[in-house]
């Protein structure tokens, strides 16, 4: 389990792999924001969005630099057809948890599983 | 009429980055209207408070930048009916809310990404592939037919 003490606290219950969320899950962007906050505090997490992609940010290089243990790929539908990113995600997902905001029912790489996000004032839980 | 396309007709300016389009609407202070409020109600189960804030389903007041991408796409569809809005970042609920609420505009979506009935028995004004739909259940059947047709094509059936 990955756990960090932002406000609200976040718990992510999954093994290394590539995950998306069940349709209708709300709070994904909020989760990405909390992961980014934790990363700013020095935790080995990475958030990567469409604007990083457009600016040519190298996902694998960023992850290697911080020895990432958790990656959140936001708005992945916008660049899911990029085979280079697909390869990077598949490579990362062998060792760490890669979460993606992905809406397509036929993405180029299928998630290992679809997660559910629940939220209270104190806890945001991903299972 | 809301026109749904399954492929780009290349006759309309297309908006693919709905986050950017929404941020421009906010910057330009487009006045939110009753349809926007309904879209936020259906998609976020929240309440649009004014042009800059909404209350989410948990009761938190947040900036409109924190609306889901699907909800932003819906509001962009509502305000820019002369553009083609790409709904690839929309979940089923957002796509369905757009169909239920937006009476005009143009959207492009993958028929494999389904829709559901959130009209609460109200009519719709939708055109797909030259056919007009005023009832959501008829549109749901049509989407099923399109998926079946596409599957048959992929499997090489006549």
pLDDT tens digits for range B63-108: 999 899 999 999 999 999 999 999 999 999 999 999 999 999 999 9
What pLDDT is recorded for position B43?
93
d(CA A78, CA A80): 6
What pLDDT is recorded for position B157?
64
Candidate from A24, A50, A77 with C-beta closest to B93:
A24
Q: A75 and B66 in contact by Cβ < 8 A?
A: no
Chain A CA closest to residue B62: A30
What pLDDT is recorded for position B11?
95
Question: Measuring CA to CA, which residue among B60, B53, B20, B24 is closest to residue B36?
Answer: B53
Candidate from B44, B70, B88 with C-beta closest to A104:
B88
Mean pLDDT of B151-158: 75
d(CA A42, CA A6): 12
Q: Looking at chain B, list the stretches that DSSP marks H as alpha helix, in order from N- to C-terminal side.
A: 18-27, 34-44, 69-79, 92-101, 136-154
Neighbouring C-beta atoms of residue A51, cutoff 10 Å: 14
pLDDT in tens, B16-38: 999 999 999 999 988 999 999 99
d(CA B43, CA B95): 9
What pLDDT is recorded for position B158?
58
Mean pLDDT of A83-97: 97
Full residue range of the structural domain in which residue B64 is found: 2-154
Domains of chain A: 2-126 (3.40.50)
Q: B44 and A106 in contact by Cβ < 8 A?
A: no
Write down the residue that tokens 């930048």 correspond to.
Answer: B65
Give the closest-approach CA distance of A81 to chain B in angstroms. 12
* CA angle in degrees (0–180, nearest 5) for B10-B110-A111: 130
> Which of A55, A103, A104, A124 to mutate to test binding with chain B, by most B CBs within 10 Å of its CB?
A103
Mean pLDDT of B140-146: 89
Give the closest-approach CA distance of A53 to chain B in angstroms. 13
pTM of the full predicted structure?
0.90
Q: Looking at A7-108, list the stretches that DSSP marks H as alpha helix, in order from N- to C-terminal side.
A: 28-40, 50-54, 59-66, 83-92
Say how many domains are in chain B.
1
Q: A103 and B66 in contact by Cβ < 8 A?
A: no
């Amino acid at each position: 389990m990955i756990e960090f003490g932002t406000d609200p606290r976040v718990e992510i219950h999954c093994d290394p792999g590539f995950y998306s969320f069940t349709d209708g899950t709300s709070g994904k962007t909020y989760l990405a924001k909390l992961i980014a906050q934790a990363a700013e505090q020095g935790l080995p997490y990475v958030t990567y969005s469409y604007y990083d992609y457009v600016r040519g940010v190298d996902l694998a290089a960023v992850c290697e630099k911080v020895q990432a243990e958790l990656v959140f790929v936001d708005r992945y539908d916008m660049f899911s057809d990029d085979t280079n990113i697909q390869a990077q995600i598949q490579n990362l997902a062998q060792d760490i948890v890669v979460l993606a905001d992905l809406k397509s029912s036929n993405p180029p790489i299928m998630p290992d599983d679809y997660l559910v996000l629940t939220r209270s004032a104190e806890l945001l839980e991903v299972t | 009429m809301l026109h749904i396309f399954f492929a780009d007709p290349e006759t309309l300016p297309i908006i693919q980055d709905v986050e950017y389009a929404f941020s421009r609407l906010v910057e330009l202070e487009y006045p939110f209207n009753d349809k926007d409020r309904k879209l936020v109600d259906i998609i976020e189960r929240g309440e649009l408070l004014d042009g800059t804030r909404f209350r989410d389903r948990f009761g938190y007041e947040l900036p409109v930048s924190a609306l889901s991408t699907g909800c932003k796409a819906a509001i962009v569809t509502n305000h820019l009916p002369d553009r083609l809005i790409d709904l690839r970042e929309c979940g089923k609920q957002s796509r369905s809310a757009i169909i239920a609420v937006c009476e005009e505009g143009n959207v492009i979506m993958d028929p494999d990404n389904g829709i559901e009935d959130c009209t609460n028995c109200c009519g719709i004004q939708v055109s797909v592939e030259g056919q007009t739909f005023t009832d959501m259940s008829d549109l749901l059947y049509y989407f099923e037919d399109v998926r079946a047709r596409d599957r048959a094509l992929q499997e090489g059936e006549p």
